[in-house]
Structure 1
């Protein structure tokens, strides 16, 4: 029976969390990123491919939530069911890393957007920006520490506010849309861009290069699964995932494809960031850029709030399942994992200073965060395959194959450097896993020791590559 919790988060609140988590900074610059590598036809096909892959993840999450209601730790519980305690730890650890590392990208982008109005923050990577970002992250940490569910209520309000500028953009661009401009070069990438960047101008090449940008903007679609234990019911979590997915697809596709009918692909590709503001400025006037910059600020704050909640909830679930020490899941009087929130905030504070030493803090943080979360997504697909095979549910088995296959493809396209860098995070992580295993009297199996040894060897290799310059965090 699907019992409801009196004070749980409802389907609309969870859907708002998904939309807020996924719609961050990327969507405001995505139109120009796509135009740099693809004409409208290949871009639409790339959306179709990515949409099918993400839909497979959504369907897998919903199917497993329905078939395994006893697993209330979402992504990480499915990883445990598929690969044991170490599988759950690796899924949860990479998700946690992705969440708080991604917040560094939000910090950079937020300060840069504010810099358009206040000169002292111009560029988003100076001392003033870092200090302001640190103050802001501790305010958010304090807010979430006073109750995850109350923070989600505010997040719902923020989500509504951040969607308004996107809605305005879509409506105004649609009113300026010209079919002749849209179809002028529907399948072919403009020659000057190919010569300048070396981008593969074939339809396949354009689709491949588009996917590199598209796949990252869906991160956050799993938010309802991560917070499923705080939902009013499993049904609410499943409904929220579908609502969130449909909402995101509509917003993303219209926001990135309609501009092709307003101005040439070359003009969109050269648009100043945030690209949406530049496009509207040309289409309807300068006032539009102000609206979009305000939208960027609201959107980033909303996403940052969501991703302050999610990493804390991740470590709480891992501690509950005894793959992290119990202290990481200890709740305060407001039922918030205070220890985890503080540790995460301290790490973010330290890493924010990396903005002074790299010229591409946003790109580094966002790509590493994206690479990290693929591990969690892939393990969901693997358990969907395993469970469906055991119960001879062949349609669900096929869905699981698409889910796992898509995440593996995404990992390959993202490049080996980011995945190799990710292994370094497991060096302290495995120490915590060992401590949790001792607390729980869990004997680490020979198979787990082999996996841990291989990951540690890769981590050492990554460190060597960093010092020798074969891998660069500025790349």
Structure 2
């Protein structure tokens, strides 16, 4: 990642010029931009596939409370451990050792790579409503065109071309204006009887608990980026601003996401919402105001997603680069070009995204598969960060100011992320191991370069568990126990 750039408002984690400190508004914009991406445009269909209005409200209350606790965890750690500047990755390493720190860095990076695939699938799905050959973004033609875009961006970033301020502003406006217009128009055209009929959910939704559980992963996906201010906390004018920006940004985005979900239930019956092609927000607005509404959302989405893809590609490369600088990844990933771009890290990022893009050809629903896998991969880094906060605050003792409150918050955040792993289900946990286990090769390469033993005794156990999970995952896929 280039370290000489300020991309305020770009719509994803940003960097600041060397030596330049950023303000609270900039950090808040960073958090908002990090979270508002492709996921919000998919919310009406994803929720309608699983839940009625009541289940959706409960889901957002749980997700809002849980993610707020997680936001408070990042706020606490930003203040209590100002020496840790790499966010999620640094917390896992400080609390549980180098190998789990590596897992956290890799999981966070892999989550960003898979998340980038959702951008291309959603773009092709949007265009597929005009060109049927693109389908839902999961046809051979769609994957070929997505691959061209994937490597086109790689070549663009490799040359050192980065977001100019004017492009950042366009992306931010393109991202937020359609969402706000959607909420206002949906409220204006809301049909009370349709909303009432959707309250308890359709026959396919199941029990209220099943409805809530079924929507948990999508809430994780849309909140990815809540830790954005922490990732670049070293650039903040004041350390306290990092935590404030995290909470302010989170609350703003939470209100926006919940509104998009709930008002959609007043436009179409749940069964119709569940069948809308992605981006489903465009279909809902089309039902409310006509075809211009669909075009309006679709154009805003494509501009927004392309800008978010560029920024998150840089973000993913930054994670590998920082880990390599800390000697937790092989040294070759710390190399930068004359244009200050970490080309090896960027290349590995693009390769993983390409691999997942090909895998979407074999999935039942390419967008939902990539979305859920992105969420599942992010859960281990989040869980380790929350657990580290429990460990750190518990060690402060009751005499430390605010320690008891911070400990309670950290325990709640840990329980929430553990529940999310349960909600993800065995399928995505096993698929995650298919990525985590082979990734240990990178950890081993780093240890070899330093002339150290590859594993300590505890790390051997962790490695054995990850390999066992990967083996079970391969068998489950081969025997048809789980499906992509």
TM-score normalized with structure 2 length: 0.87
Is contact 1:22–1:221 with CA below 8 Å preserved after alignment? yes
For the residue of structure 1 that corresponds to 2:340, the secondary structure is coil
The DSSP-based 3-state class of the residue aligned with 1:174 is helix
Residue 357 of structure 1, CA deviation:
3.8
- Partner SS state of residue 415, structure 1: helix
Q: How big is each residue's C-alpha offset from its partner over 1:274-320, in whole Å with a ceiling of 9 and x where there is no partner?
A: 33222222222221111112122123213322321221111112112
Task: Tell me, in whole angstroms, the C-alpha distance in 1 between the residues paired with 2:357 and 2:458.
Answer: 37
Counterpart pick for 2:477 among 463, 466, 474:
466
Partner of 2:71: 58
Name the CA shift for 1:242/1:157 in 2 (closer, same or farther; >3 Å): farther
Distance 1:453 1:116 in 2: 46
Instruction: Give the drift of 1:464.
Output: 2.4
More off after superposition, 431-440 vs 365-374 = 431-440
Deviations 1:395-453 (A, max 9, x none): 11111111111111001011112111211223332121122123334443211112112
In the TM superposition, 1:417-428 aligns within 5 A as: 417-428=427-438
Alpha-carbon shift at residue 235 of structure 1 (Å): 4.5
**Is 1:352 equivalent to 2:351 in the alignment?**
no
The residue aligned with 1:296 is 301
Find the counterpart in structure 2 of residue 112 from structure 1: 125
1:15-414 superposed matches below 5 A:
15-118=28-131, 121-145=134-158, 150=163, 154-155=167-168, 157-177=170-190, 182=195, 184-185=196-197, 188-189=200-201, 193-194=202-203, 197=204, 199-201=205-207, 203-229=208-234, 234-392=239-397, 393-414=403-424
Cα separation, 2, equivalents of 1:362 and 1:180? 31
Contact 2:267 2:287 in 1 (8 A): no
- Residues 273, 345 of structure 1: alpha-carbon distance in 2 compared, 3 angstrom cutoff: closer
How many angstroms does 1:211 deviate by? Answer: 2.8
Counterparts of 2:166 and 2:405 in 1: how far apart (Å)? Answer: 37
Partners in 1 of 2:78 and 2:160 — Cα distance? 25
How far 1:327 sits from its partner (Å)? 1.4
Provide the aligned length of Structure 1 versus Structure 2.
463
Tell me the distance in 1 between the aligned counterparts of 2:405 and 2:370.
37
Measured in 2, the distance between the counterparts of 1:366 and 1:417 equals 14
Deviations 1:216-268 (A, max 9, x none): 22122222222334556644543432232122112101111123344544554
Structure 1 segments unaligned to the other structure (5+ residues):
none
Kept in 2, the 8 Å contact 1:5–1:231? The answer is: no
For residues 240 and 441 of structure 1, do their structure 2 counterparts lie closer, same or farther at Cα, with a shift above 3 Å needed? farther
Per the alignment, in what secondary structure is the counterpart of residue 417 of structure 2?
Answer: helix
CA RMSD in angstroms, aligned pairs only: 2.7
Give the unaligned 5+ runs of structure 2: 1-15, 398-402
In structure 2, do the counterparts of structure 1 residues 9 and 130 end up closer, same or farther at CA, with 3 Å as the change threshold? Answer: farther
Secondary structure at 2:215 match in 1: helix
